[in-house]
Chains A and B, each alone.
Chain A
Amino acid sequence: MSAGLGEASSGVAMAEISPRIGYGAAVLVALLWTVPFLWMLVAAFNPQNVGAGMASLVPSYVPTLANFREAWASADFPRYGLNTLIISLGILAVQLVTITLAGYAFARLEFPGRSLCFYLFLLQLMLAPVVLIVPNLAMIARLGLYDSLLGVMAPYFASAFGTFLMRQAFKAIPRELEDAALIDGATVWQRIGFIYLPLAKPSLIAFAIVSVTAHWNEFLWPLMVINSPDLRPLTVGLATFTRGAEGAQAWGVIAAGTLIVSAPLLLAFALFQRAFVNSFVSSGIK
C-alpha cells in the first residue's frame, strides 16, 4: 500500500516540482555534504598522522592499516560492541511496546486531560540529558541499577518522540478498518496487533533507525552509569583516544576509530538503505 502511494505521487512530484537545475543543486549539496566523510576515509589509511598535507582529499600515500590497528588495540571493541548492541536493541524493544500503546491512546481515544497528557509527554523532549544526570543517577542507584546495562537503558524506555510519531501514523489509518474488527469482536490488543501495527510498520522501522542511531552514539550517560570495564559501550572506548586534553590529536587514528565504531551502522545503512529510505518515505508523518 505504502509503496503504491509513494510511486503514484512522487512520479508526478518529480516531473512537476523539481526542475533540472534544482536537481543539479541537490547533487552538488550531497557531494559537499560528503566531503568530511571522504576526508575521514583518506585520513584513516594515511600512514602520516599529522602534518601539513593531512587535509588533502586525494590520497598521496601507500595506504596503511596502522591507524586501524592502533585504534583497535586501544579498546576492547568486540566486547564494547556487544554492550552497545544490547543497550541499543534493549532500549528499542521496550520502546516499541511503550510507544505503540501510548501512540494508540493519543491517536484514537478520547479521555479527559488528553492535551495535558500529551504535553507532559513532550516534556521529555525539552529536557537535555545533561541536566538530568544527577537526579537520574540517584534514581538508578535507588533502583539498584547502578553500574549495569539496564541502568543505561531504563531512562529511555519511554519515548516522547516515538509516541508522537506513532500517534501521527495511527491517525493516518482509516478508522473504518478498526470499526470492522470491532464488530467482529476483536479486543483492543487484537486491533492494535493485527490492524494498527502492520499498517504502521514503516513508521516503526523509521523510529527504530532513529532510536538505534541515537543510543549507539550516546556517550555521557553510559559514562555516568557504568563503572565496570566489561560493561563499557563503544563510545566510551572510542573516547579514550579521541579526546586528548593536552593537545594530542592523532587525526588518522581518530578517523580509523570512528570508522570502526560507525562501521556496523554504516554497513546496516548500506544494506538496508533502500528499505530504510522507503520506510521513512512512507512513515506516517503527514
Chain B
Amino acid sequence: MTQAILSARAIGAGESRGRPFWPRGDTALAFGLLAPSLLLLGLFTYAPVVQLVWQALTAQSTIGGPQLFAGLENFRALFADGAFRKALANNLIYALGTVVPSLVLALGLALALVRSTQVNALLRALLFVPVLFPLVAAASIFLFIFLPGIGLLDYHLAKLALSGPNWLGDPDVALYAIMGLTIWKNAGYYMLFFLAGLQGVPADAYEAAILDGANPWQRLRHVTLPYLKPTIGFVMVIGLLNVVTQVDHVFVLTKGGPSDSTNLLLFYVYQQAVETYDVGRAAAGTLVMLALLLAITAGSLRTLERSFGEKEP
C-alpha cells in the first residue's frame, strides 16, 4: 500500500504536466470552488489592501484636516526615517537569528523524536506547550523570566554566583533575549512539520544508502535532507512570514526599546499608526513590508515547487 502510493504519486506528478485533466469545465469549477474564499478574502483582505494603497498615497496637509493626494511623499518620508531603517535592519537580524536556529533545532528534534513511542510523544508534547499559551498571559510569564534580580534567569544564575545582564533593558542584549524567546516559542511548532515530512522518506531509500556503505552523516545529507526539501521550504516560508507578522511579544515586552534596539518593522508600523497617528506613513510601511514578503515568499515557493519536481502552483 505504502509503496503503491509513493510510486503512484511519483508517476502522477510526472504525468499531470503534459496532460491537463478536465480542460473545459475546469475553469468554471475552479472559480466556483474558490468563490467562497475569494469573497471572504475580498471583504477582509483585499478591500483593506486597496484602502492601504490609497492611504499610502495621501497625507494631511493641514493638521486635523482631510487626507489629500500626496504622491510618493509617504514612501520618501519612510525611507528617510532613521527609525524605519533601524527597524528594517533589526528585523533582518531577527529573521536570520530566529528562522535558521528554530529550523535547525526543529529538524534535530524531529529526527531524534521521529519514532512514536510513549516517551517521545510526551517529549513532543512538552516542546509544543509554548504554542498553547495565550500571549496576553504568556507575556507576563516571559517578563518574569527576564526580570532583573528576581526573575527565572537571574535567580538561577545567582545560585551559580553569576549575575546576568539586564536582559530586556540593555540595548546590546535585548534583541537577542527576544530572539531566544522566539526560538523557544517556534521550535516545537516547526518540529511537527518536520515530523510530518520525515514520514515521507521511504525506508528503501535508507536501505539502498546503507548497502552503498554510507555513514549516518552521508545518509542525512544525501537521503534525508533531499526528501525534506519541500518541508524545509514550507517551514521557511511560514517562518519568514511569522518573523514579520507575528511579533506580539515585542509589543508586550519592550515596546521596541531600549532606544529602538528591538524595534521591528511591524512595531514601527504600529507606532506610526497608533502613537504618531500618521496613517499615510503607516500604510506605506505596511505596503513595503508586503512587497518584501511577497518577494521572499515567491522566491521560496519557487524553490519549494522545484524541489517538488513540478512547476509552480
Q: A residues within 8 Å of B by Cβ? A: 1-2, 4-14, 16-19, 22-23, 25-27, 29-31, 33-37, 39-40, 51-52, 54-56, 97-99, 101-102, 104-106, 108-112, 114-115, 117-128, 130-132, 135-136, 139, 143, 154-155, 157-158, 160-161, 163, 167-168, 172, 174-176, 188, 206, 213, 216-219, 234-235, 238-239, 242-243, 249, 251, 254-255, 257-258, 261-262, 265-266, 269-270, 273-274, 277-278, 280-286
In the complex, B71 has a CB within 8 A of chain A: no
Interface of B is mostly: helix
Chain-A contact segment, one of B40-48, B61-69, B85-93: B40-48
Q: Which of A14, A101, A163, A285 contacts B115 (CB 8 A)?
A: A14
Report whether B152 and A119 are in contact in the complex, using a CB–CB cutoff of 8 Å: no
Q: Chain B residues near A266 (CB, 8 Å)?
A: 129, 132
For A112, give the chain B residue with the smallest CB separation: B27
Report whether B136 and A242 are in contact in the complex, using a CB–CB cutoff of 8 Å: yes
Q: Which of A22, A40, A143 contacts B141 (CB 8 A)?
A: A40
The interface bits of chain B over 283-298 (1 if a CB of A lies within 8 angstroms of the residue's CB, else 0) are: 0001001100110011
Q: Chain A residues near B125 (CB, 8 Å)?
A: 269-270, 273, 277
Report whether B37 and A257 are in contact in the complex, using a CB–CB cutoff of 8 Å: no
**A10-B114, A277-B121 in contact; A1/B27 too (CB < 8 A)?**
no
A154 to B45, alpha carbons, bound, how many Å? 12
For B134, give the chain A residue with the smallest CB separation: A217
Q: Chain B residues near A109 (CB, 8 Å)?
A: 21-22, 26, 29-30, 33
* Sampled A-B contacts (6; CB under 8 Å): A16-B210, A36-B141, A55-B154, A175-B16, A243-B139, A258-B137
Q: Which of B51, B128, B195 contacts A269 (CB 8 A)?
A: B128
**A52-B150, A135-B47 in contact; A125/B245 too (CB < 8 A)?**
yes
Chain-A contact segment, one of B73-81, B216-224, B254-262: B216-224
In the complex, B105 has a CB within 8 A of chain A: yes
CB distance from A184 to the nearest CB of B (A): 16
Known: A10-B115, A110-B26. 5 other contacts (CB 8 A): A10-B199, A26-B113, A33-B129, A131-B266, A258-B133
Q: Chain B residues near A255 (CB, 8 Å)?
A: 141
In the complex, B299 has a CB within 8 A of chain A: no
Report whether B48 and A34 are in contact in the complex, using a CB–CB cutoff of 8 Å: no
Q: Chain B residues near A218 (CB, 8 Å)?
A: 134
A266 to B126, alpha carbons, bound, how many Å? 11
**A101-B36, A286-B200 in contact; A243/B140 too (CB < 8 A)?**
yes
CB distance from B161 to the nearest CB of A (A): 16
CB distance from B141 to the nearest CB of A (A): 6
Report whether B49 and A105 are in contact in the complex, using a CB–CB cutoff of 8 Å: no
A167 to B298, alpha carbons, bound, how many Å? 17
A136 to B46, alpha carbons, bound, how many Å? 11
Report whether A131 and B52 are in contact in the complex, using a CB–CB cutoff of 8 Å: yes
A210 to B210, alpha carbons, bound, how many Å? 37
Report whether A125 and B126 are in contact in the complex, using a CB–CB cutoff of 8 Å: no
A106 to B122, alpha carbons, bound, how many Å? 36
A137 to B129, alpha carbons, bound, how many Å? 32
Report whether A281 and B195 are in contact in the complex, using a CB–CB cutoff of 8 Å: yes
CB distance from A157 to the nearest CB of B (A): 5
Interface range on chain B (Cβ under 8 Å from partner): 35 or more
Interface of A is mostly: helix
**A22-B112, A34-B129, A277-B195 in contact; A128/B45 too (CB < 8 A)?**
no
Report whether B126 and A101 are in contact in the complex, using a CB–CB cutoff of 8 Å: no
**A4-B1, A135-B51, A280-B196 in contact; A128/B245 too (CB < 8 A)?**
yes
**A130-B270, A174-B12, A286-B200 in contact; A136/B137 too (CB < 8 A)?**
no
Report whether A55 and B45 are in contact in the complex, using a CB–CB cutoff of 8 Å: no
Report whether A127 and B48 are in contact in the complex, using a CB–CB cutoff of 8 Å: yes
For B286, give the chain A residue with the smallest CB separation: A131
A201 to B46, alpha carbons, bound, how many Å? 30
In the complex, B281 has a CB within 8 A of chain A: no
A60 to B289, alpha carbons, bound, how many Å? 49
Report whether A249 and B143 are in contact in the complex, using a CB–CB cutoff of 8 Å: yes
A128 to B52, alpha carbons, bound, how many Å? 13
In the complex, B130 has a CB within 8 A of chain A: yes
CB distance from B196 to the nearest CB of A (A): 5
Report whether B156 and A114 are in contact in the complex, using a CB–CB cutoff of 8 Å: no
In the complex, B313 has a CB within 8 A of chain A: yes
**A10-B115, A174-B5, A282-B196 in contact; A33/B126 too (CB < 8 A)?**
yes
Q: Chain A residues near B21 (CB, 8 Å)?
A: 108-110, 175
Report whether A9 and B203 are in contact in the complex, using a CB–CB cutoff of 8 Å: yes
6 shortest interchain CB distances as A-B pairs? A55-B155, A26-B112, A217-B134, A258-B137, A135-B48, A174-B8
